[in-house]
Structure 1
Protein backbone atom coordinates (compact mmCIF):
# COMPACT_ATOMS: atom_id res chain seq x y z
CA UNK A 1 0.00 0.00 0.00
CA UNK A 2 1.31 3.43 -0.94
CA UNK A 3 0.54 6.27 1.46
CA UNK A 4 1.07 9.80 0.15
CA UNK A 5 1.61 12.68 2.58
CA UNK A 6 1.38 16.13 1.03
CA UNK A 7 3.06 19.08 2.73
CA UNK A 8 5.52 16.60 4.22
CA UNK A 9 8.28 19.18 4.65
CA UNK A 10 6.10 21.27 6.95
CA UNK A 11 6.00 20.78 10.71
CA UNK A 12 2.80 18.71 10.79
CA UNK A 13 3.59 16.67 7.67
CA UNK A 14 7.01 15.60 8.85
CA UNK A 15 5.52 14.47 12.16
CA UNK A 16 2.93 12.40 10.29
CA UNK A 17 5.68 10.67 8.32
CA UNK A 18 7.69 9.89 11.46
CA UNK A 19 4.53 8.64 13.18
CA UNK A 20 3.81 6.26 10.29
CA UNK A 21 7.36 4.95 10.49
CA UNK A 22 7.03 4.50 14.26
CA UNK A 23 3.86 2.48 13.64
CA UNK A 24 5.82 0.06 11.49
CA UNK A 25 4.84 1.25 8.02
CA UNK A 26 7.72 0.35 5.67
CA UNK A 27 9.50 3.49 4.51
CA UNK A 28 9.17 2.52 0.86
CA UNK A 29 5.37 2.54 1.24
CA UNK A 30 5.40 6.21 2.26
CA UNK A 31 5.60 8.91 -0.40
CA UNK A 32 6.38 12.39 0.94
CA UNK A 33 5.55 15.45 -1.14
CA UNK A 34 6.89 18.91 -0.39
CA UNK A 35 8.68 22.02 -1.58
CA UNK A 36 11.79 22.05 0.64
CA UNK A 37 14.52 20.01 -1.06
CA UNK A 38 16.70 19.85 2.05
CA UNK A 39 13.90 18.51 4.26
CA UNK A 40 12.87 16.06 1.55
CA UNK A 41 16.44 14.79 1.49
CA UNK A 42 16.24 14.16 5.24
CA UNK A 43 13.13 12.06 4.73
CA UNK A 44 14.73 10.33 1.77
CA UNK A 45 17.62 9.31 4.02
CA UNK A 46 15.06 7.37 6.07
CA UNK A 47 14.10 5.39 2.98
CA UNK A 48 10.92 7.37 2.26
CA UNK A 49 9.97 7.97 -1.38
CA UNK A 50 10.11 11.74 -1.88
CA UNK A 51 8.81 14.04 -4.59
CA UNK A 52 9.45 17.77 -4.81
CA UNK A 53 6.13 19.30 -5.83
CA UNK A 54 4.07 22.39 -5.07
CA UNK A 55 0.30 22.55 -4.53
CA UNK A 56 0.11 24.93 -7.48
CA UNK A 57 1.78 22.36 -9.78
CA UNK A 58 -1.21 20.40 -11.08
CA UNK A 59 0.84 18.28 -13.48
CA UNK A 60 3.43 17.49 -10.84
CA UNK A 61 0.72 16.48 -8.38
CA UNK A 62 -0.91 14.20 -10.94
CA UNK A 63 2.40 12.41 -11.43
CA UNK A 64 3.16 12.27 -7.69
CA UNK A 65 -0.21 10.71 -6.82
CA UNK A 66 -0.11 8.05 -9.52
CA UNK A 67 -0.28 4.65 -7.87
CA UNK A 68 -1.31 6.06 -4.48
CA UNK A 69 -3.71 4.04 -2.36
CA UNK A 70 -4.34 6.63 0.34
CA UNK A 71 -3.54 10.35 0.43
CA UNK A 72 -3.32 12.78 3.33
CA UNK A 73 -3.94 16.32 2.10
CA UNK A 74 -2.42 18.64 4.68
CA UNK A 75 -4.04 22.02 4.23
CA UNK A 76 -1.90 24.69 2.61
CA UNK A 77 -0.54 27.62 4.58
CA UNK A 78 -1.36 30.41 2.13
CA UNK A 79 -4.64 31.90 3.34
CA UNK A 80 -6.65 32.99 0.30
CA UNK A 81 -4.92 30.49 -1.98
CA UNK A 82 -5.84 27.27 -0.24
CA UNK A 83 -8.94 26.31 -2.20
CA UNK A 84 -7.43 26.36 -5.72
CA UNK A 85 -4.31 24.61 -4.40
CA UNK A 86 -6.38 21.96 -2.65
CA UNK A 87 -8.50 21.48 -5.77
CA UNK A 88 -5.33 20.51 -7.66
CA UNK A 89 -4.68 17.76 -5.11
CA UNK A 90 -8.31 16.61 -5.22
CA UNK A 91 -8.23 16.42 -9.02
CA UNK A 92 -4.96 14.45 -8.94
CA UNK A 93 -6.37 12.08 -6.31
CA UNK A 94 -9.51 11.51 -8.36
CA UNK A 95 -7.49 10.83 -11.51
CA UNK A 96 -5.34 8.37 -9.57
CA UNK A 97 -8.48 6.68 -8.19
CA UNK A 98 -7.09 6.71 -4.65
CA UNK A 99 -8.92 4.60 -2.10
CA UNK A 100 -9.05 7.31 0.57
CA UNK A 101 -8.43 11.04 0.70
CA UNK A 102 -7.89 12.40 4.22
CA UNK A 103 -7.88 16.15 4.79
CA UNK A 104 -6.68 18.24 7.74
CA UNK A 105 -9.52 20.69 8.24
CA UNK A 106 -10.53 22.92 11.18
CA UNK A 107 -12.80 22.27 14.14
CA UNK A 108 -16.52 22.55 13.38
CA UNK A 109 -15.71 23.43 9.77
CA UNK A 110 -19.28 22.97 8.56
CA UNK A 111 -20.71 25.52 11.03
CA UNK A 112 -17.82 27.76 12.09
CA UNK A 113 -17.96 31.48 11.47
CA UNK A 114 -14.16 31.88 11.54
CA UNK A 115 -12.57 33.50 8.51
CA UNK A 116 -10.08 30.62 8.57
CA UNK A 117 -12.91 28.10 8.31
CA UNK A 118 -14.17 29.36 4.94
CA UNK A 119 -11.49 27.70 2.79
CA UNK A 120 -11.61 24.54 4.89
CA UNK A 121 -15.37 24.26 4.45
CA UNK A 122 -15.06 24.87 0.71
CA UNK A 123 -12.35 22.20 0.48
CA UNK A 124 -14.51 19.68 2.33
CA UNK A 125 -17.33 20.44 -0.11
CA UNK A 126 -14.99 19.97 -3.09
CA UNK A 127 -13.80 16.63 -1.73
CA UNK A 128 -17.38 15.49 -1.18
CA UNK A 129 -18.30 16.54 -4.72
CA UNK A 130 -15.37 14.53 -6.12
CA UNK A 131 -16.98 11.28 -5.06
CA UNK A 132 -13.78 10.08 -3.40
CA UNK A 133 -13.98 8.16 -0.15
CA UNK A 134 -12.76 10.63 2.42
CA UNK A 135 -12.17 11.43 6.07
CA UNK A 136 -11.99 14.95 7.48
CA UNK A 137 -9.56 15.50 10.35
CA UNK A 138 -10.96 18.68 11.87
CA UNK A 139 -8.15 19.96 14.06
CA UNK A 140 -8.70 22.59 16.73
CA UNK A 141 -5.87 25.01 17.61
CA UNK A 142 -2.25 23.93 18.02
CA UNK A 143 -0.93 24.29 21.57
CA UNK A 144 2.23 25.60 19.91
CA UNK A 145 0.26 28.72 18.96
CA UNK A 146 0.50 29.54 22.66
CA UNK A 147 3.65 27.81 23.89
CA UNK A 148 5.62 29.56 21.15
CA UNK A 149 4.78 32.86 22.83
CA UNK A 150 6.15 31.99 26.28
CA UNK A 151 8.97 34.58 26.09
CA UNK A 152 6.43 37.31 25.30
CA UNK A 153 4.09 36.17 28.08
CA UNK A 154 7.01 36.17 30.51
CA UNK A 155 8.29 39.58 29.43
CA UNK A 156 4.94 41.37 29.67
CA UNK A 157 3.28 39.28 32.35
CA UNK A 158 0.11 38.88 30.34
CA UNK A 159 -1.62 36.83 27.68
CA UNK A 160 -3.49 39.08 25.26
CA UNK A 161 -6.65 37.94 23.53
CA UNK A 162 -10.18 38.72 22.45
CA UNK A 163 -11.78 35.43 23.47
CA UNK A 164 -13.53 36.37 26.69
CA UNK A 165 -14.30 33.22 28.69
CA UNK A 166 -14.34 30.97 25.61
CA UNK A 167 -12.59 27.63 25.77
CA UNK A 168 -10.27 26.17 23.15
CA UNK A 169 -9.62 22.46 22.66
CA UNK A 170 -5.99 22.90 21.67
CA UNK A 171 -3.63 19.94 21.30
CA UNK A 172 0.01 19.55 20.36
CA UNK A 173 1.03 19.31 16.75
CA UNK A 174 2.54 15.91 17.52
CA UNK A 175 -0.80 14.64 18.84
CA UNK A 176 -2.65 15.84 15.73
CA UNK A 177 0.02 14.23 13.53
CA UNK A 178 -0.22 10.93 15.38
CA UNK A 179 -4.00 11.00 15.05
CA UNK A 180 -3.72 11.63 11.30
CA UNK A 181 -1.35 8.69 10.90
CA UNK A 182 -3.70 6.46 12.88
CA UNK A 183 -6.74 7.47 10.80
CA UNK A 184 -4.85 6.90 7.57
CA UNK A 185 -4.15 3.30 8.59
CA UNK A 186 -7.68 2.39 9.71
CA UNK A 187 -9.62 -0.03 7.52
CA UNK A 188 -12.76 2.05 7.87
CA UNK A 189 -12.09 5.55 9.24
CA UNK A 190 -15.01 7.78 10.17
CA UNK A 191 -16.11 10.42 7.65
CA UNK A 192 -15.38 13.18 10.19
CA UNK A 193 -13.20 13.44 13.29
CA UNK A 194 -13.54 16.52 15.50
CA UNK A 195 -10.09 16.63 17.06
CA UNK A 196 -8.94 18.50 20.14
CA UNK A 197 -7.54 18.07 23.62
CA UNK A 198 -8.90 19.05 27.01
CA UNK A 199 -10.28 22.56 26.69
CA UNK A 200 -9.09 25.65 28.55
CA UNK A 201 -9.79 29.38 28.56
CA UNK A 202 -7.09 31.95 27.91
CA UNK A 203 -7.38 32.93 31.56
CA UNK A 204 -6.54 29.33 32.47
CA UNK A 205 -3.71 29.41 29.95
CA UNK A 206 -2.25 32.49 31.66
CA UNK A 207 -2.54 30.84 35.08
CA UNK A 208 -0.79 27.70 33.83
CA UNK A 209 2.00 29.69 32.18
CA UNK A 210 2.50 31.67 35.38
CA UNK A 211 2.63 28.52 37.49
CA UNK A 212 5.18 26.84 35.22
CA UNK A 213 7.37 29.94 34.86
CA UNK A 214 7.04 30.97 38.48
CA UNK A 215 5.80 34.40 37.44
CA UNK A 216 2.59 36.40 37.76
CA UNK A 217 0.90 36.09 34.36
CA UNK A 218 -2.66 37.31 33.78
CA UNK A 219 -5.08 37.34 30.88
CA UNK A 220 -5.98 40.68 29.28
CA UNK A 221 -9.13 40.64 27.17
CA UNK A 222 -9.21 43.23 24.39
CA UNK A 223 -11.67 44.25 21.67
CA UNK A 224 -10.74 42.47 18.44
CA UNK A 225 -9.81 45.75 16.74
CA UNK A 226 -7.39 46.62 19.54
CA UNK A 227 -5.86 43.15 19.50
CA UNK A 228 -5.34 43.49 15.75
CA UNK A 229 -3.53 46.80 16.31
CA UNK A 230 -1.29 45.22 18.95
CA UNK A 231 -0.40 42.33 16.63
CA UNK A 232 0.36 44.72 13.78
CA UNK A 233 2.55 46.70 16.15
CA UNK A 234 4.41 43.49 16.95
CA UNK A 235 5.21 43.08 13.25
CA UNK A 236 2.42 40.95 11.82
CA UNK A 237 0.84 41.94 8.48
CA UNK A 238 -2.53 43.58 9.10
CA UNK A 239 -4.62 40.98 7.19
CA UNK A 240 -3.03 38.13 9.14
CA UNK A 241 -3.40 39.97 12.44
CA UNK A 242 -7.10 40.50 11.68
CA UNK A 243 -7.54 36.77 10.96
CA UNK A 244 -5.95 35.90 14.32
CA UNK A 245 -8.18 38.37 16.15
CA UNK A 246 -11.18 36.92 14.34
CA UNK A 247 -10.10 33.45 15.48
CA UNK A 248 -10.15 34.68 19.07
CA UNK A 249 -13.70 35.90 18.58
CA UNK A 250 -14.60 32.47 17.26
CA UNK A 251 -12.88 30.91 20.25
CA UNK A 252 -15.10 33.05 22.43
CA UNK A 253 -18.16 31.73 20.60
CA UNK A 254 -17.06 28.14 21.20
CA UNK A 255 -16.08 27.40 17.61
CA UNK A 256 -12.68 25.94 18.53
CA UNK A 257 -14.17 23.74 21.24
CA UNK A 258 -14.67 20.00 20.70
CA UNK A 259 -14.83 17.06 23.04
CA UNK A 260 -11.51 15.16 23.30
CA UNK A 261 -13.23 11.86 22.48
CA UNK A 262 -12.18 11.53 18.82
CA UNK A 263 -8.56 12.51 19.41
CA UNK A 264 -8.22 10.16 22.36
CA UNK A 265 -9.76 7.32 20.34
CA UNK A 266 -7.23 7.73 17.53
CA UNK A 267 -4.31 8.20 19.93
CA UNK A 268 -5.34 5.37 22.22
CA UNK A 269 -4.47 7.66 25.15
CA UNK A 270 -5.32 11.10 26.55
CA UNK A 271 -4.04 14.10 24.63
CA UNK A 272 -0.97 15.90 25.98
CA UNK A 273 -2.13 18.19 28.84
CA UNK A 274 -1.64 21.95 28.58
CA UNK A 275 0.69 22.05 31.60
CA UNK A 276 2.93 19.34 30.14
CA UNK A 277 3.19 21.20 26.82
CA UNK A 278 4.03 24.47 28.59
CA UNK A 279 6.70 22.73 30.71
CA UNK A 280 8.24 21.13 27.63
CA UNK A 281 8.34 24.46 25.81
CA UNK A 282 9.73 26.27 28.84
Structure 2
Protein backbone atom coordinates (compact mmCIF):
# COMPACT_ATOMS: atom_id res chain seq x y z
CA UNK A 1 0.00 0.00 0.00
CA UNK A 2 1.28 3.48 -0.87
CA UNK A 3 0.24 6.77 0.75
CA UNK A 4 0.62 10.30 -0.59
CA UNK A 5 0.23 13.53 1.39
CA UNK A 6 -0.38 16.72 -0.60
CA UNK A 7 0.64 20.15 0.71
CA UNK A 8 3.55 18.35 2.35
CA UNK A 9 5.64 21.47 2.96
CA UNK A 10 2.76 23.27 4.68
CA UNK A 11 1.87 23.12 8.35
CA UNK A 12 -1.01 20.66 8.02
CA UNK A 13 0.74 18.34 5.58
CA UNK A 14 3.91 18.42 7.66
CA UNK A 15 2.05 17.36 10.78
CA UNK A 16 0.22 14.64 8.84
CA UNK A 17 3.50 13.17 7.58
CA UNK A 18 4.92 13.03 11.11
CA UNK A 19 1.86 11.16 12.40
CA UNK A 20 1.69 8.90 9.35
CA UNK A 21 5.25 7.62 9.72
CA UNK A 22 4.27 6.11 13.06
CA UNK A 23 1.31 4.29 11.47
CA UNK A 24 2.75 2.86 8.23
CA UNK A 25 6.19 2.06 6.85
CA UNK A 26 8.05 5.23 5.91
CA UNK A 27 9.16 3.76 2.58
CA UNK A 28 5.48 3.61 1.57
CA UNK A 29 4.92 7.33 2.22
CA UNK A 30 5.09 9.91 -0.56
CA UNK A 31 5.02 13.68 -0.18
CA UNK A 32 3.71 16.02 -2.86
CA UNK A 33 5.59 19.30 -3.33
CA UNK A 34 5.28 22.02 -5.96
CA UNK A 35 8.95 22.15 -6.93
CA UNK A 36 12.25 20.27 -6.52
CA UNK A 37 13.52 23.19 -4.43
CA UNK A 38 10.83 22.50 -1.85
CA UNK A 39 11.66 18.79 -1.77
CA UNK A 40 15.11 18.93 -0.18
CA UNK A 41 14.12 18.96 3.50
CA UNK A 42 11.59 16.15 3.06
CA UNK A 43 14.14 14.04 1.19
CA UNK A 44 16.60 14.60 4.03
CA UNK A 45 13.95 13.26 6.42
CA UNK A 46 13.67 10.11 4.33
CA UNK A 47 10.38 10.66 2.55
CA UNK A 48 9.71 9.76 -1.07
CA UNK A 49 8.90 12.96 -2.92
CA UNK A 50 6.70 13.61 -5.95
CA UNK A 51 6.50 16.99 -7.70
CA UNK A 52 3.11 18.28 -8.79
CA UNK A 53 0.95 21.38 -8.82
CA UNK A 54 -2.84 21.50 -8.48
CA UNK A 55 -2.96 23.84 -11.49
CA UNK A 56 -1.10 21.32 -13.72
CA UNK A 57 -3.08 18.12 -14.21
CA UNK A 58 -0.27 16.41 -16.12
CA UNK A 59 2.10 16.88 -13.19
CA UNK A 60 -0.55 15.46 -10.86
CA UNK A 61 -1.11 12.44 -13.09
CA UNK A 62 2.60 11.65 -12.87
CA UNK A 63 2.71 12.33 -9.13
CA UNK A 64 -0.23 10.04 -8.37
CA UNK A 65 1.04 7.11 -10.45
CA UNK A 66 1.19 4.03 -8.24
CA UNK A 67 -0.46 5.75 -5.26
CA UNK A 68 -3.19 3.83 -3.42
CA UNK A 69 -4.34 6.29 -0.75
CA UNK A 70 -4.31 10.10 -0.92
CA UNK A 71 -4.53 12.84 1.69
CA UNK A 72 -5.92 15.75 -0.30
CA UNK A 73 -5.22 18.96 1.61
CA UNK A 74 -7.41 21.70 0.15
CA UNK A 75 -5.67 24.45 -1.77
CA UNK A 76 -5.76 28.20 -1.25
CA UNK A 77 -8.87 30.20 -2.29
CA UNK A 78 -8.71 31.72 -5.74
CA UNK A 79 -8.88 29.20 -8.56
CA UNK A 80 -9.67 26.39 -6.15
CA UNK A 81 -12.53 24.64 -7.95
CA UNK A 82 -10.58 24.15 -11.17
CA UNK A 83 -7.48 23.07 -9.25
CA UNK A 84 -9.42 20.64 -7.07
CA UNK A 85 -11.13 19.17 -10.12
CA UNK A 86 -7.63 18.49 -11.50
CA UNK A 87 -6.67 16.64 -8.32
CA UNK A 88 -9.75 14.43 -8.39
CA UNK A 89 -9.48 13.65 -12.11
CA UNK A 90 -5.78 12.83 -11.83
CA UNK A 91 -6.46 10.63 -8.81
CA UNK A 92 -9.21 8.73 -10.62
CA UNK A 93 -7.11 8.29 -13.76
CA UNK A 94 -4.17 7.03 -11.68
CA UNK A 95 -6.33 4.46 -9.90
CA UNK A 96 -6.14 6.03 -6.43
CA UNK A 97 -8.37 3.89 -4.21
CA UNK A 98 -9.13 6.31 -1.37
CA UNK A 99 -9.10 10.05 -0.66
CA UNK A 100 -9.17 11.81 2.71
CA UNK A 101 -10.13 15.42 1.93
CA UNK A 102 -9.85 18.42 4.24
CA UNK A 103 -13.25 20.07 3.87
CA UNK A 104 -15.15 22.79 5.76
CA UNK A 105 -17.27 22.64 8.89
CA UNK A 106 -20.87 21.53 8.23
CA UNK A 107 -20.17 22.23 4.55
CA UNK A 108 -23.49 21.15 3.04
CA UNK A 109 -25.47 23.42 5.38
CA UNK A 110 -23.05 26.36 5.43
CA UNK A 111 -23.74 29.76 3.88
CA UNK A 112 -20.12 30.85 4.28
CA UNK A 113 -18.38 31.94 1.09
CA UNK A 114 -15.58 29.57 2.12
CA UNK A 115 -17.87 26.52 1.90
CA UNK A 116 -18.70 26.62 -1.81
CA UNK A 117 -15.34 25.28 -3.03
CA UNK A 118 -15.49 22.45 -0.52
CA UNK A 119 -19.05 21.47 -1.45
CA UNK A 120 -17.89 21.41 -5.08
CA UNK A 121 -14.89 19.23 -4.25
CA UNK A 122 -16.86 16.77 -2.14
CA UNK A 123 -19.26 16.37 -5.09
CA UNK A 124 -16.34 15.79 -7.49
CA UNK A 125 -14.91 13.06 -5.25
CA UNK A 126 -18.30 11.35 -4.88
CA UNK A 127 -18.94 11.45 -8.62
CA UNK A 128 -15.47 10.00 -9.29
CA UNK A 129 -16.52 6.92 -7.35
CA UNK A 130 -13.43 6.97 -5.12
CA UNK A 131 -13.80 5.77 -1.53
CA UNK A 132 -13.35 8.75 0.77
CA UNK A 133 -13.55 10.47 4.11
CA UNK A 134 -14.52 14.13 4.25
CA UNK A 135 -12.65 15.74 7.13
CA UNK A 136 -14.87 18.74 7.83
CA UNK A 137 -12.37 20.76 9.81
CA UNK A 138 -13.64 23.59 11.97
CA UNK A 139 -11.14 26.41 12.70
CA UNK A 140 -7.45 26.07 13.51
CA UNK A 141 -6.49 27.89 16.70
CA UNK A 142 -3.40 29.01 14.76
CA UNK A 143 -5.73 31.18 12.62
CA UNK A 144 -6.23 33.44 15.63
CA UNK A 145 -2.56 34.25 16.18
CA UNK A 146 -2.87 37.78 14.70
CA UNK A 147 -5.60 38.53 17.27
CA UNK A 148 -3.71 36.80 20.09
CA UNK A 149 -0.41 38.43 19.14
CA UNK A 150 -2.08 41.82 18.92
CA UNK A 151 -3.62 41.34 22.35
CA UNK A 152 -0.27 40.47 23.92
CA UNK A 153 1.38 43.46 22.26
CA UNK A 154 -1.32 46.08 22.93
CA UNK A 155 -3.09 44.71 26.00
CA UNK A 156 -6.39 44.63 24.06
CA UNK A 157 -8.05 41.49 22.70
CA UNK A 158 -10.19 42.92 19.90
CA UNK A 159 -12.81 40.90 18.01
CA UNK A 160 -15.91 41.65 15.92
CA UNK A 161 -17.74 38.30 15.97
CA UNK A 162 -20.05 39.29 18.85
CA UNK A 163 -21.43 36.13 20.53
CA UNK A 164 -20.58 33.80 17.65
CA UNK A 165 -18.91 30.53 18.64
CA UNK A 166 -16.08 28.55 17.07
CA UNK A 167 -14.91 24.95 17.56
CA UNK A 168 -11.19 25.72 17.72
CA UNK A 169 -8.51 23.06 17.99
CA UNK A 170 -4.83 22.79 17.13
CA UNK A 171 -3.81 22.13 13.53
CA UNK A 172 -1.78 19.12 14.62
CA UNK A 173 -4.93 17.57 16.13
CA UNK A 174 -6.81 17.85 12.84
CA UNK A 175 -3.76 16.46 11.02
CA UNK A 176 -3.56 13.47 13.37
CA UNK A 177 -7.08 12.42 12.39
CA UNK A 178 -6.18 12.94 8.72
CA UNK A 179 -3.14 10.68 9.09
CA UNK A 180 -5.20 8.00 10.83
CA UNK A 181 -7.78 8.13 8.03
CA UNK A 182 -5.08 7.90 5.38
CA UNK A 183 -3.45 4.95 7.15
CA UNK A 184 -6.71 3.01 6.98
CA UNK A 185 -8.64 3.67 10.17
CA UNK A 186 -12.30 3.02 9.40
CA UNK A 187 -14.24 6.24 9.80
CA UNK A 188 -17.68 7.37 8.60
CA UNK A 189 -17.88 9.12 5.23
CA UNK A 190 -18.08 12.49 7.04
CA UNK A 191 -16.23 13.53 10.17
CA UNK A 192 -17.35 16.82 11.70
CA UNK A 193 -14.09 17.76 13.39
CA UNK A 194 -14.98 20.46 15.86
CA UNK A 195 -13.87 21.28 19.35
CA UNK A 196 -16.48 22.36 21.88
CA UNK A 197 -17.67 25.73 20.49
CA UNK A 198 -16.83 28.83 22.54
CA UNK A 199 -17.00 32.60 22.03
CA UNK A 200 -14.09 34.99 21.54
CA UNK A 201 -14.71 36.29 25.05
CA UNK A 202 -14.10 32.76 26.34
CA UNK A 203 -11.01 32.45 24.13
CA UNK A 204 -9.71 35.72 25.59
CA UNK A 205 -10.27 34.35 29.11
CA UNK A 206 -8.20 31.27 28.15
CA UNK A 207 -5.46 33.58 26.84
CA UNK A 208 -5.40 35.51 30.12
CA UNK A 209 -5.17 32.27 32.07
CA UNK A 210 -2.44 30.89 29.80
CA UNK A 211 -0.27 33.99 30.04
CA UNK A 212 -1.18 35.43 33.42
CA UNK A 213 -1.51 38.84 31.73
CA UNK A 214 -4.22 41.42 32.24
CA UNK A 215 -5.85 41.93 28.86
CA UNK A 216 -8.82 44.14 28.05
CA UNK A 217 -11.44 42.27 26.03
CA UNK A 218 -13.01 44.49 23.35
CA UNK A 219 -16.10 43.45 21.36
CA UNK A 220 -15.70 45.98 18.56
CA UNK A 221 -17.26 47.23 15.37
CA UNK A 222 -15.80 46.16 12.02
CA UNK A 223 -13.56 49.19 11.48
CA UNK A 224 -12.05 49.02 14.95
CA UNK A 225 -11.27 45.33 14.39
CA UNK A 226 -9.53 45.99 11.06
CA UNK A 227 -7.63 48.93 12.55
CA UNK A 228 -6.40 46.74 15.41
CA UNK A 229 -4.97 44.20 12.98
CA UNK A 230 -3.33 46.76 10.71
CA UNK A 231 -1.83 48.45 13.77
CA UNK A 232 -0.27 45.07 14.55
CA UNK A 233 1.36 44.93 11.13
CA UNK A 234 -1.15 43.05 8.95
CA UNK A 235 -1.70 44.49 5.46
CA UNK A 236 -5.14 46.03 4.93
CA UNK A 237 -6.38 43.30 2.51
CA UNK A 238 -5.38 40.56 4.96
CA UNK A 239 -7.07 42.38 7.85
CA UNK A 240 -10.24 42.64 5.76
CA UNK A 241 -10.06 38.91 5.00
CA UNK A 242 -9.89 38.26 8.76
CA UNK A 243 -12.94 40.49 9.14
CA UNK A 244 -14.84 38.25 6.71
CA UNK A 245 -14.01 35.31 8.99
CA UNK A 246 -15.39 37.28 11.92
CA UNK A 247 -18.63 37.77 10.00
CA UNK A 248 -18.88 34.02 9.37
CA UNK A 249 -18.36 33.31 13.04
CA UNK A 250 -20.85 35.99 14.09
CA UNK A 251 -23.33 34.27 11.75
CA UNK A 252 -22.76 30.90 13.48
CA UNK A 253 -21.00 29.24 10.54
CA UNK A 254 -18.47 27.55 12.84
CA UNK A 255 -20.79 26.85 15.77
CA UNK A 256 -20.78 23.08 15.18
CA UNK A 257 -21.25 20.64 18.04
CA UNK A 258 -19.99 17.12 17.34
CA UNK A 259 -18.33 14.28 19.22
CA UNK A 260 -16.57 13.07 16.06
CA UNK A 261 -13.23 14.74 16.80
CA UNK A 262 -12.42 13.17 20.16
CA UNK A 263 -13.86 9.84 19.05
CA UNK A 264 -11.65 9.87 15.94
CA UNK A 265 -8.58 10.84 17.97
CA UNK A 266 -9.36 8.35 20.70
CA UNK A 267 -8.48 10.94 23.34
CA UNK A 268 -9.57 14.38 24.55
CA UNK A 269 -8.59 17.49 22.62
CA UNK A 270 -5.96 19.73 24.19
CA UNK A 271 -7.60 22.27 26.51
CA UNK A 272 -7.81 25.84 25.18
CA UNK A 273 -5.39 27.08 27.85
CA UNK A 274 -2.80 24.39 27.12
CA UNK A 275 -3.25 24.82 23.38
CA UNK A 276 -2.55 28.56 23.65
CA UNK A 277 0.53 27.85 25.76
CA UNK A 278 1.73 25.42 23.09
CA UNK A 279 1.34 28.00 20.33
CA UNK A 280 3.05 30.74 22.30
CA UNK A 281 5.99 28.48 23.15
For structure 1, which segment, 144-153 or 80-89, has the greater mean C-alpha deviation from structure 2 after superposition? 144-153
Partner of 1:182: 180
For structure 1, which segment, 119-128 or 182-191, has the greater mean C-alpha deviation from structure 2 after superposition? 182-191
Partner of 2:25: 26
Displacement of 1:37 after TM fit?
A: 4.0
**Counterpart contact for 1:148–1:281, Cα < 8 Å:** no
**CA deviation string 1:202-245 (max 9, x = no partner):** 00111121222222223322334553455456554555433322
Aligned to 1:110, what secondary structure does the other structure show? helix
Which residue among 122, 132, 138 is the counterpart of 2:120? 122
For structure 1, which segment, 84-93 or 117-126, has the greater mean C-alpha deviation from structure 2 after superposition? 117-126
- Indicate whether 1:75 and 2:83 are aligned: no
When the two structures are superposed, what TM-score results if normalisation uses the length of structure 1? 0.91
Task: Measure the CA separation in 1 of the matches of 2:47 and 2:86.
Answer: 23
Task: Measure the CA separation in 2 of the matches of 1:124 and 1:83.
Answer: 11
Number of corresponding residues: 280
Partner of 1:43: 42
Displacement of 1:154 after TM fit?
A: 1.4
Partner of 1:92: 90
For structure 1, which segment, 67-76 or 260-269, has the greater mean C-alpha deviation from structure 2 after superposition? 260-269
Provide closer, same or farther for how the CA distance between residues 219 and 36 of structure 1 changes in structure 2, counting only shifts above 3 A.
farther
Which residue among 196, 211, 214 is the counterpart of 1:213? 211
Task: Measure the CA separation in 2 of the matches of 1:4 and 1:260.
Answer: 28
Task: Measure the CA separation in 2 of the matches of 1:107 and 1:253.
Answer: 13
Partner of 2:254: 256
For structure 1, which segment, 267-276 or 129-138, has the greater mean C-alpha deviation from structure 2 after superposition? 129-138
**CA deviation string 1:185-214 (max 9, x = no partner):** 235431111102232210011112122222
Displacement of 1:3 after TM fit?
A: 0.7
**Counterpart contact for 2:150–2:229, Cα < 8 Å:** no
Task: Measure the CA separation in 1 of the matches of 2:157 and 2:245.
Answer: 15
- The alignment yields a C-alpha RMSD, in angstroms, of 2.0
Aligned to 1:176, what secondary structure does the other structure show? helix
Aligned to 1:177, what secondary structure does the other structure show? helix
Provide closer, same or farther for how the CA distance between residues 36 and 60 of structure 1 changes in structure 2, counting only shifts above 3 A.
closer
Which residue among 241, 254, 278 is the counterpart of 1:280? 278
Task: Measure the CA separation in 2 of the matches of 1:141 and 1:185.
Answer: 23
- Name structure 2 gaps, 5 residues minimum: none
When the two structures are superposed, what TM-score results if normalisation uses the length of structure 2? 0.91
**Counterpart contact for 2:147–2:229, Cα < 8 Å:** no
